[in-house]
Structure formats: C-alpha cells, structure tokens
Amino acid sequence: MCRGAPDHPHVLIQYEAFRAAGAPFVRLNPDRVYVQAVGGSSYPQAADNPAFTAYDHLSIRNALEPEGANKIPDEIFTAAGVVELADRTQANNLSAQLDSVLFSEQPSPIDWKPYFTLTPEEGIEFEIDTTAIVLGGGVPVLNITNDGAIVLTSVVGPQLRAFEVRDNGKNYLSFTYPSQRGSDGGFIYLPDGRTRFLSEEPAPGSTAQRHKSRIVSWISSDGRTWTKEAGIRYQPGAEDDSIASVPAVIQLQDSVWRMYYVGDWYRTNGTRTAISTDWGWTWKPESRGNILRRGDVDPHPVYLSNGKIRLYGRSGMGKPLDQGGISYCDSDDGLHFDTLQVKLLIKDSDLPAMLKLDPAVIKFPNGDIACYLGAMPLMHQPGTPKLLVAWAKKSSVVRTLPYRTMPNRLQLEQNYPNPFNPWTTIRFSLPQREHVTLKVFDVLGKEVATLVNGELNPGEHSVVWDAAAMPSGVYFYRMQAGQFVQQQKMEVIK
C-alpha cells in the first residue's frame, strides 16, 4: 500500500517523545523517515499554506500500516490532534483522503501536585485504622484522573483491584479496570493531559532463585484505561544487579523527572535513582549507590511547602518489630539525605502487629492526610495480608507571642494550667531561629504526641495540647532545639 512508509516503531518513538514534550502539532515526514514537532505560534497559517495538506489520523494510519505490518496501537492515533504530511506529492501517492483541518485546543493537564504537597509539620505522626480496606490486599498505588477523581489500586493475589476514593478517604467505590496494567509504580502527568505509568516487569534471565526486572510503561488519556507502550523505559546495569523494583517518581522541572526504585536487591538492597528529561520516555542512572541506608526501601516521594522533598518508605526489614516499619526522611534536593534523620512513623509493632510496607501518602482537598500501606503477616506466622490506611494527626498551631525584649536564652516553661483537663498551654522562648521539636511522652516513655516539629523564628511561642483522648496520669513534655534539651512534667486529671 505504501512503499515509502516509514518503519513505524522508529517513527512512533519520536512521535511519542514530541507528544510527551507537549508539542502542539506533530508532523510525520514519510520521505525522510522522521517526525518533526511544530510549535503553534510559529505555524499559525497552516490551513492557508498550499505547501501543506492536513489529513486526519485514519489517513495517517493507512499511510503507516502497509500490508503485513504490525498494527499500531489505537491510542497512539486517537491522542493526536492534528498531523501534517510535509510533501503534497508524497501525500497523494499515499492515496490519503483530505479531511478537515482541526486545530483543537490541547486537553488541560491534570492538577495533581496539591494532593502530594505537605507542609514540613504535616505527615510526621500517624494513627492506623485497623479496619482493612481490602482483605488479602497490599501494594497501594494512587493517581489523579482527568476528571479529578482519586483512584486507589491494590494487588489482591494475581488481580489488580481498583477503587475510586470518595469523601476525602471515607468511602471507596470499587470498579473494574477495562485493562490490566502493572501493579506497583509511579505516575508521570504529561502536559497534554495524558498520564504515563511506570512499573516493573521480569527481565530476560529472571528466575525464581534470582529475580531480574526492568521498567516499562503504560499510557492513559483518562487515568483509568491503560495501554502498554512499546519498548523498555529503563534497564538497570550491573551496579544495580539487574533489578529495578517498586518505582516511584517526582517532577523536578517541566520534562525532568526523577525515579526512585529499589536496586541491588541481592547485595546492598537500597533505594537508587534514575533521571529523565523527556517526560519519562527514556531514563539514565543518577545515583550509583543507595541514597539511604541498606534496607530503606519502598520509596514514595512528596513535595514539602518549604521546597524540600520528603521520602516515605520502609525501614528495618529483619529487625525487631519496634525497630522496623514505615519511615520518612527529608532532603533539600531529594537526592542527598542525612540518614541519621530517618525517623520511624508507623512501627511493625503498632496494631495490627504486622510488617508494614509500601506507603502511599496523599493530602485530600479537606486537608486530611492519609498513608495507605500494605500489612503482611510476620515471618512464619499465619495471617492474611491487608490494605490499611493510617491518618495523620493534626499538627498543633504554634503562636508567636508579643514581647518587649528579645529572649536571651532558650527556655521551656511550666505548662498552665497544671493539672488540667483537657487543654493546657506550653510556652517556650528562642533567642535565635531554630529547628524545634516538642513532644509529649507517657510515664513509660512512649511518645504520645508531637506538638512542634519545624523551623521557628526567635521570640516567645506557645502551643496548646489537647489531651481529650488521653487517660488521666502523669506526662512529660520535652523540647529540643539544636543541642538544647529540656523536659517538664504535667498531669491530666479527669
């Protein structure tokens, strides 16, 4: 049908790259076997220019699919707004039928970042809802759809179950995916409104004794229906022992995205990174070693409002139950982490006493923050996996008090009133800007509340602790600012 038609796998790779980069129009040149991106501002009079003839996507399909060729996926063409053939003579030879010239507007990109942006004080203390969302489930993955819905998927045996999250995480509507995609992975939100999903699949040579995997991708125009894309997005090298597992992604700038993944499973077993400059179509290694500690895995990044990046994950595999679980660590650039600052949020010993895995954190429109996680039975113990949700505790409001003179020393004052039921006010002074933590402990030394965790300006400050949910008894509150540590005792009487 078309002797001059380009080899379509080569063309489609270029085509997808231009589409992912947000090119308003894409032009296929069959004579020279390449694809050109055409900017809307530099090509405003295409319909009036006799050097160009526009054809609809069905004509282009006919041009690129000579008899015996592999079928090009429908999604590739239905995503196209306008496609131009640069040579009218070549176009006539393809016997394409002239269609109307449609310069339609690009679909709006998905507004996804607010769901994955926290303040530094948010998401640092969680309480588990022990009622399972899905019995037998695990590996929670969240994405935002084109119509603004929140979709949660979970692996249940060999199946992928999908739910629309409603009422700020209070209700879940189950629905059936029209097509299956990878289970665990990360979403890249493209400027043309589509979403690319990265996940792993077994790589050649993978065995039950030594697993090998690589990163592949799916594409969606609505956030619910997925089509697998051709090619391999990322194949780790020897330094990663040929494994790339549980990938997660975060946008750094426009087309530049970072992927976090678990690499080198059989040797150092940690979180590595790769970088893409073309909206996740191609990737190259970024970190050549673990960015956190050995055993810090299941990475899940979120933005912080102060410009930093927080990485939630799993820590302490193989350690005692009170030393393993869901953790977090903040970084200025999302690449360099102070591993001494890795903090446990949800311990394996917290009820239900199970291994806690695969955290997926989201901030709902009403401000509530949830951490979806998988829970697995402890080694050699009976039990059923569960998909659970933990809710972030509300951070306390820190007030800055008026003062006549600047404080000249760090000081933690006695709370007032004391004893109290259920509220009390705690005041403290800072002579200079400091990162302050103020936590409450019971008589056994168990942390029961975090009242302050963040940077504060110099001055006198106060915070209120609501102990309505706590039993009567003696409690201690401890403030740390740099090398300064001070503790006071208080009593709840009900």
Structural contact between residues 269 and 276, judged by C-beta atoms closer than 8 angstroms: no
Mean pLDDT over 235-239 rounds to 78
Q: In this model, does residue 145 exceed pLDDT 90?
A: yes
Structural contact between residues 346 and 363, judged by C-beta atoms closer than 8 angstroms: no
- For 76, residues 6+ apart whose C-beta sits below 8 A from its C-beta are 12, 15, 16
Mean pLDDT over 88-99 rounds to 31
Q: In this model, does residue 9 exceed pLDDT 50?
A: no
Q: In this model, does residue 42 exceed pLDDT 60?
A: no
Cα–Cα dist 298/376, whole Å: 14
Lowest mean pLDDT among 250-254, 267-271, 339-343: 267-271
Structural contact between residues 210 and 178, judged by C-beta atoms closer than 8 angstroms: no
Percent of the chain whose pLDDT exceeds 90: 55
Lowest mean pLDDT among 18-27, 86-95, 393-402: 86-95
Q: In this model, does residue 291 exceed pLDDT 90?
A: yes
The pLDDT-based confidence of 16 (bands split at 50, 70, 90) is low
Cα–Cα dist 327/346, whole Å: 7
Distances (CA, A) of 75 to 9, 190, 193, 260: 14, 15, 13, 28
- For 286, residues 6+ apart whose C-beta sits below 8 A from its C-beta are 258, 272, 273, 274, 275, 335
Mean pLDDT over 260-273 rounds to 89
**Which of 50-64, 98-112, 479-493 is the most confident on average?**
479-493
More confident residue, 77 or 117: 117
Q: In this model, does residue 184 exceed pLDDT 60?
A: yes
Q: In this model, does residue 114 exceed pLDDT 90?
A: yes
- For 90, residues 6+ apart whose C-beta sits below 8 A from its C-beta are 4, 30, 31
Structural contact between residues 383 and 377, judged by C-beta atoms closer than 8 angstroms: yes
Of the candidates 14, 37, 25, the residue with the CA atom closest to the CA atom of residue 102? 25
Structural contact between residues 322 and 349, judged by C-beta atoms closer than 8 angstroms: yes
Structural contact between residues 315 and 324, judged by C-beta atoms closer than 8 angstroms: yes
Average pLDDT, whole number, for the chain?
Answer: 80
Cα–Cα dist 329/343, whole Å: 7
**Class of domain 113-392 as given by CATH:** mainly beta
pLDDT at site 178: 72
The amino acid at residue 200 is E
Mean pLDDT over 476-488 rounds to 95
pLDDT at site 20: 55
Helix (H), strand (E) at residue 143:
strand 137-144
Give pLDDT tens digits for 368-378.
Answer: 899 999 999 98
| Residue 371, beta-bridge partner list | 361, 390
More confident residue, 136 or 97: 136
Give pLDDT tens digits for 296-335.
Answer: 999 999 999 889 999 999 999 889 999 999 999 999 999 9
Mean pLDDT over 460-488 rounds to 92
pLDDT at site 236: 82
More confident residue, 242 or 105: 242
Nearest 10 degrees: Cα torsion 121, 123, 125, 128: 160
The residue to which tokens 């060729």 are assigned: 69
Of the candidates 313, 309, 311, the residue with the CA atom closest to the CA atom of residue 296? 313
The pLDDT-based confidence of 225 (bands split at 50, 70, 90) is very high
Strand intervals (E) in 86-220: 117-118, 126-135, 137-144, 150-156, 159-166, 171-175, 185-189, 195-202, 213-220
CATH topology for 398-492?
A: Immunoglobulin-like (2.60.40)
More confident residue, 35 or 207: 207
The amino acid at residue 103 is F
Of the candidates 365, 419, 368, the residue with the CA atom closest to the CA atom of residue 389? 368
Q: In this model, does residue 18 exceed pLDDT 50?
A: no
Percent of the chain whose pLDDT exceeds 70: 78
CB atoms within 10 A of CB 56: 18
DSSP-based three-state secondary structure for 348: coil
Q: What residue spans define the domains of the chain? A: 8-93, 113-392, 398-492
pLDDT at site 353: 92
Cα–Cα dist 76/93, whole Å: 23
Cα–Cα dist 369/84, whole Å: 47
pLDDT at site 49: 34
Q: Please calculate the CA angle 418-422-425 and round it to the nearest 5 degrees.
A: 50
Cα–Cα dist 491/193, whole Å: 55
On the CB side of 429, how many CA atoms lie within 13 Å of its CA?
13
